[in-house]
Amino acid sequence: MSLKTSAKMAEGLIDRWLDYQTYIRELPGLSVGIDIEGETVFQKSYGYSNVAQQTPMTPETLFRIASHSKLFTASAIMRLFASGKLRLDDPVVQHLAWFRSEADPNLEHVTLRQLLSHSSGMNRDGNTAHWADDRFPELDEIKAQTENGLSSYDSLEYWKYSNMGFTVLGQVIEAVTGQSFEDAVRELVIAPMGLDNTAPDIEPGRLSDHATGYGRKLPRKERETFAHVRANVMNSATGFSSNVPDMIRFYRHHLYGDESFLADRHKREMQRPQFIDDVYKWGLGFELGESSGVKFAGHGGGYPGFITYSFMCQDPKLIVVVLTNALNPFPQEIALGLLDIIQTVARSEEKLMEDNEADLEWLERISGFYAMRWGVNLLQRVGNRMVLTIPDLLRPSTGMSLGEQEGNRFRWISGMQNGIFGESHTIEEIDGETVMRRGDTVTKAFKFTY
């Protein structure tokens, strides 16, 4: 059975888990897409794009995708490299005469490759207060800071994330193309990929298509609401807007096999390790990681009111996009949790698809949440079987049990051995309500609203 089939089999489990994560973490909204082998097998949104107006979130809702912008900037640089207009190991000063400082001799040695892989030694955000006061710098401020020095370390000494580095890359693109960064990235990346809902800067005419951004969830307090702000000269580092379908299309163009956007050799160059420092591994623009034995390339993003994460795998050809309109919502953990669910179902596919003459309609009807004082369980049909898990978990497989059915009784033959492993639940109707019973303990159906 293919991973695509496993993901489709897990659709109900994925849907309810995401629904519950939105609820239990009090997220304003969440939008998710999963694409396997060129087919979007799951795409759904939860919660609200605007809480006060109770505007439902949809997959088409636009988000500020923040540092995902770096992937578009890196893609533009790679297109310019592929056409012979620059070299990856060009010193930045070769393209930007102002990128030098008597106070910072390191700058003259910094290359485009080092900026793309966060190995230039440059500081993260400069000295303006844009993350605190929402006033992002203009080019003259970047030049002034450059003159005073930007390096925290020598190049290639440490991996050090730098928004300033990708801001400078935007100016390199302007110098090489003779266009504004925004026009150049539209021509080099957005238009060739057919991304109709992606822009390098927030577009005033599409403000109403954007989700409202919200702050951190603090105890007994409402989340702060943020206005949309421009990133100005830092658009190449953090200014982009997009949505789930467009982000999936973006990643499809970076999967091997389709060379309409970039040759595979150029994609491999972007996705191979360029700098490794302890736990950090980076390609050209792409963060490189591994989870449950699957290697991936992706990125995250944080902007006032938005935290987002996405990744792709080359083998299998898998794309996961998670966009949220709030701070502190764990999108990376949610994305990897989705991978965890799909892989767990794939490993158990033989048992899940055993023909046990189950009444699938009844199994679907009893699927849902059940709660008692100790917490909430999720009972869900997957294939021809029932699984039981703890929906609070960010890695649902760690609490997942597989049920062996006999009539209305389910014996849990796998799962945590300090829990219900080897024991049974029966499903019963009490006063018109479906419940789970284990001995004298009754767990009732649990419903929630955002």
Q: Kindly report, residue by residue over 282-303, the tens digit of the pLDDT.
A: 999 999 999 988 999 999 999 9
Other beta carbons within 10 angstroms of residue 87's beta carbon come to 13
* Percentage of residues in the chain having pLDDT higher than 90: 94
Average pLDDT, the chain: 96
Range 366-380 average pLDDT: 96
- pLDDT value of position 76: 99
Q: Are residues 114 and 99 in the same domain?
A: yes
pLDDT tens for 247-274 read: 999 999 999 999 999 999 999 999 999 9
Last residue of a domain, one of 347, 369, 389: 347
Please name the residue ranges forming H helices in 186-292: 191-193, 235-238, 244-252, 264-271
- For position 391, what pLDDT does the model report? 97
Residue 421 lies in a domain: yes
Q: Which of 347, 377, 394 is the last residue in one of the domains?
A: 347
pLDDT at 1: 66
Give the per-residue pLDDT at 430.
Answer: 87
Evaluate whether residue 450 is within a structural domain.
Answer: no
Same domain, 187 and 238: yes
Q: Give the domain CATH number at 256.
A: 3.40.710.10
- Could you list the residue range(s) of the whole structural domain that residue 360 is in? 351-445
The reported pLDDT for the residue numbered 123 is 98
Do 382 and 299 belong to one domain? no
Number of C-beta neighbours around residue 373 at 10 A = 5
* Identity at 144, one-letter amino acid code: A
On whether both 172 and 253 belong to a single domain, the answer is yes
In a domain, 427, yes or no: yes
Whether 217 and 275 map to the same domain: the answer is: yes
Q: Which percentage of the chain shows pLDDT scores above 70?
A: 100
Average pLDDT of the residues in 418-431: 91
DSSP assignments along 109-142, one per residue: G-BHHHHHTT-S-B-SSTT--HHHHS-PPPHHHH
Residue 427 has pLDDT above 80, yes or no: yes
Rounded distance between C-alpha atoms, residue 427 and residue 445, angstroms: 11
Confidence category of residue 378, pLDDT binned at 50, 70, 90: very high
Q: How confident is the model at residue 416 (pLDDT cuts 50, 70, 90)?
A: confident
The reply to whether 143 and 80 lie within a common domain is yes
Q: Is residue 387 part of a domain?
A: yes
- Of 168, 175, 177, 173, which Cα lies nearest the Cα of 104? 168
Residue 419 has pLDDT above 90, yes or no: no
Q: Are 383 and 255 contained in the same domain?
A: no
Report if residue 246 sits inside a domain: yes
Instruction: Specify whether 339 is located in the same domain as 358.
Output: no
212 and 238 assigned to the same domain: yes
pLDDT digits (tens, 9 = 90+) for 353-365: 987 678 999 999 9
Q: Count of CB atoms within 10 A of residue 324's CB?
A: 30
User: Is pLDDT above 70 for 94?
Assistant: yes
The answer as to whether 433 is a domain residue is yes
User: Is the whole-model pTM more than 0.95?
Assistant: yes
Q: Which helix (H) or strand (E) covers residue 170, if one does? A: helix 163-177
Last residue of one domain, picked from the residues 347, 367, 394: 347
pLDDT at 308: 98
Same domain, 294 and 339: yes
Task: Examine the domain organization and report whether 300 and 373 are in the same domain.
Answer: no
Q: Are residues 286 and 428 in the same domain?
A: no
Mean pLDDT of all residues in 415-423: 87
Mean pLDDT calculated for residue range 322-343: 96
User: Is 215 inside a domain boundary?
Assistant: yes
Report the domain count for the chain: 2
Assess whether pLDDT exceeds 80 at residue 25: yes
Count other Cβ atoms within 10 Å, centred on residue 132.
8
Which candidate, 170, 160, 181, places its Cα nearest to that of 117?
160
